[in-house]
Structure 1
Amino acid sequence: MSEPMPEPNSELKPEARSEARPKTSLVKSSSIVSIMTLLSRVLGLVRDVVVAQYFGARADAFFVAFKIPNFLRRLFAEGAFSVAFVPVLSEYKSQRSVAEVKLLIASVSGVLGLALFLVTILALLLAPWLPYVFAPGFSGDAEKFALTGNLLRITFPYLLFISLTAFAGSILNAYGRFAIPAFTPVLLNVCLIFSTLVMTSWFIEPLYALAWGVFMAGALQLLFQLPFIARLGLLVRPTYQPKQEGVGRILKLMGPALFGVSVSQINLLLDTLLASFLEPGSVSWLYYSDRLNNLPLGIFAIAIGVVILPALSKKHAENNSNHFAQTLDWAARMIFLLALPAALALVVLATPLMATIFFHGEITPYDIGKMTLSLQAYGIGLFAFMLIKVLAPGYYARQDTKTPVKIGIQAMVVNMVLNLALVGPFQHAGLALATSLSAFFNAYMLYRGLKATGHYKAQPGWLGFAFKVLIANVALFVVMYFMMGDAQQWLEWGTWQRIGWMSAIVGAGIGVYFVTLVVFGLRPRHLKGARF
Structure 2
Amino acid sequence: MTEKNSEKNTDKAAGRSLLRSSSIVSVMTLLSRVLGLIRDVVVAQYFGARADAFFVAFKIPNFFRRLFAEGAFSVAFVPVLSEYRKQRTLDEVRLLIAQVSGVLGLALLGVTVAALALSDYLPWVFAPGFRSDPEKFALTADLLRITFPYLLFISLTAFASSVLNAYGRFAIPAFTPVLLNLCLIFSTLVMTDWFTEPLYALAWGVFIAGLVQLVFQLPFVARLGLLVAPRYEPKAEGVGRIVTLMIPALFGVSVSQINLLLDTLLASFLEDGSVSWLYYSDRLNNLPLGIFAIAIGVVILPALSGRHADNNQQAFSRTLDWAVRMVFLLATPAALALVVLAMPLMSTIFYHGEVTAYDVGKMTLSLQAYGVGLLAFMMIKILAPGYYARQDTKTPVKIGIQAMVVNMVLNLALVGPFQHAGLALATSLSAYYNVYMLYRGLRKQGAYTLQPGWMKFIALLVASNGLMIATVWWMMGDAEQWLVWGTWQRIGWMSAVVGAGVAVYFAVLIGAGMRMRHLRGQLF
Same fold (TM over 0.5): yes
* TM-superposed deviation, 1:453: 1.1
With over 3 angstroms needed to count, the CA separation of the structure-2 counterparts of 1:181 and 1:529, relative to structure 1, is farther
Partner SS for 2:447? coil
> What is the TM-score normalised by the length of structure 2?
0.96
Contact 1:199 1:209 in 2 (8 A): yes
Separation in 2, partners of 1:336, 1:233 = 39
Provide the residue aligned with 1:46 in structure 2: 38
Separation in 1, partners of 2:15, 2:212 = 32
Provide the residue aligned with 2:390 in structure 1: 398
What letter matches 1:243 in structure 2?
A: K
Structure 1 unaligned regions, length at least 5: 1-20
Q: Confirm or deny that 1:475 pairs with 2:467.
A: yes
With over 3 angstroms needed to count, the CA separation of the structure-2 counterparts of 1:397 and 1:22, relative to structure 1, is closer
Separation in 2, partners of 1:227, 1:24 = 28
Separation in 1, partners of 2:237, 2:489 = 61
Provide the residue aligned with 2:317 in structure 1: 325
Partner SS for 1:367? helix
What letter matches 1:176 in structure 2?
A: G
Contact 1:468 1:522 in 2 (8 A): no
Separation in 2, partners of 1:527, 1:178 = 19
Separation in 2, partners of 1:200, 1:237 = 38
Pick one of 126, 137, 140 that aligns with 2:129.
137
Contact 1:117 1:160 in 2 (8 A): yes
Q: Confirm or deny that 1:164 pairs with 2:156.
A: yes
Q: Confirm or deny that 1:66 pairs with 2:58.
A: yes
Pick one of 62, 70, 74 that aligns with 1:78.
70
Separation in 2, partners of 1:419, 1:391 = 25
Q: 1:138-195 CA distances to partner (integer Å, 9 max, x unpaired)?
A: 0010000000000000000000000000000000000000000000000000000000
Pick one of 325, 340, 344 that aligns with 1:348.
340
Provide the residue aligned with 2:196 in structure 1: 204
Show the 5 A alignment for 1:67-216: 67-216=59-208
Separation in 2, partners of 1:84, 1:480 = 42
Separation in 2, partners of 1:469, 1:158 = 42
* TM-superposed deviation, 1:252: 0.4
Partner SS for 2:391? coil
Pick one of 425, 434, 437 that aligns with 1:445.
437
Aligned residues: 510
Partner SS for 1:280? coil
Partner SS for 2:479? coil
Provide the residue aligned with 2:24 in structure 1: 32
Provide the residue aligned with 1:224 in structure 2: 216
* TM-superposed deviation, 1:23: 9.7
Separation in 2, partners of 1:420, 1:410 = 16
Q: 1:4-53 CA distances to partner (integer Å, 9 max, x unpaired)?
A: xxxxxxxxxxxxxxxxx999611110000000000000000000000000
Q: 1:250-291 CA distances to partner (integer Å, 9 max, x unpaired)?
A: 000000000000000000000000000000000000000000
Pick one of 418, 441, 449 that aligns with 1:426.
418
Show the 5 A alignment for 1:260-279: 260-279=252-271
Partner SS for 2:197? coil
Separation in 1, partners of 2:513, 2:375 = 24
Provide the residue aligned with 2:233 in structure 1: 241
Provide the residue aligned with 1:6 in structure 2: none
Separation in 2, partners of 1:219, 1:424 = 41
What letter matches 2:304 in structure 1?
A: L
With over 3 angstroms needed to count, the CA separation of the structure-2 counterparts of 1:22 and 1:394, relative to structure 1, is closer
With over 3 angstroms needed to count, the CA separation of the structure-2 counterparts of 1:361 and 1:248, relative to structure 1, is same
Separation in 2, partners of 1:389, 1:127 = 32
Contact 2:154 2:214 in 1 (8 A): yes
> What is the TM-score normalised by the length of structure 1?
0.95
Contact 2:16 2:520 in 1 (8 A): no
Separation in 2, partners of 1:104, 1:192 = 35
Q: 1:185-214 CA distances to partner (integer Å, 9 max, x unpaired)?
A: 000000000000000000000000000000
Separation in 1, partners of 2:481, 2:206 = 36
Q: Confirm or deny that 1:314 pairs with 2:294.
A: no
What letter matches 2:378 in structure 1?
A: M
Partner SS for 2:53? helix
Provide the residue aligned with 1:10 in structure 2: none
What letter matches 1:377 in structure 2?
A: A
Separation in 2, partners of 1:298, 1:351 = 22
Separation in 2, partners of 1:440, 1:53 = 34
Provide the residue aligned with 1:253 in structure 2: 245
Contact 1:25 1:529 in 2 (8 A): no
What letter matches 1:490 in structure 2?
A: W
Contact 1:26 1:529 in 2 (8 A): no
Q: Confirm or deny that 1:523 pairs with 2:515.
A: yes
Partner SS for 1:25? helix
* TM-superposed deviation, 1:220: 0.2
Structure 2 unaligned regions, length at least 5: 1-12
With over 3 angstroms needed to count, the CA separation of the structure-2 counterparts of 1:215 and 1:92, relative to structure 1, is same
Partner SS for 1:278? coil
Contact 2:15 2:520 in 1 (8 A): no
Separation in 2, partners of 1:488, 1:420 = 31
With over 3 angstroms needed to count, the CA separation of the structure-2 counterparts of 1:179 and 1:529, relative to structure 1, is farther
Separation in 1, partners of 2:226, 2:14 = 20
With over 3 angstroms needed to count, the CA separation of the structure-2 counterparts of 1:22 and 1:520, relative to structure 1, is closer
What letter matches 1:311 in structure 2?
A: A
* TM-superposed deviation, 1:529: 3.6
Identity between Structure 1 and Structure 2 (%): 78
What letter matches 1:305 in structure 2?
A: G
Moved over 2 A (4+): 21-24
Provide the residue aligned with 2:454 in structure 1: 462
